[in-house]
Structure 1
Amino acid sequence: MNLRWMLRAKRWAQTPPSAGRVKFVLGVIALCLLLYAVERVFGWPDWLTPNSPRGRIGL
Structure 2
Amino acid sequence: MNMTWLMRMARWARRPPSMRQVRIVAVVIAVVLVIAGLEWLGLWPDWATVEPRGGRLPRLN
TM-score by length of 2: 0.69
Seen in structure 2, the aligned counterparts of structure 1 residues 13 and 33 have a Cα distance that, compared at 3 Å, is same
Which structure exhibits the higher relative contact order, with contacts defined as CA atoms closer than 8 Å and separated by 6 or more residues?
2
- Displacement, 1:8? 0.6
Q: Identity over aligned residues, as a percent?
A: 42
Cα distance in 2 for residues equivalent to 1:29 and 1:41:
18
Compute the displacement of 1:45 (Å): 3.0
**Matched positions, count:** 53
Q: TM-score, normalised to structure 1's length?
A: 0.71
Find the counterpart in structure 2 of residue 25 from structure 1.
Answer: 25
RMSD between aligned residues: 2.4
Name the CA distance, whole Å, in 2 between partners of 1:49 and 1:17. Answer: 34
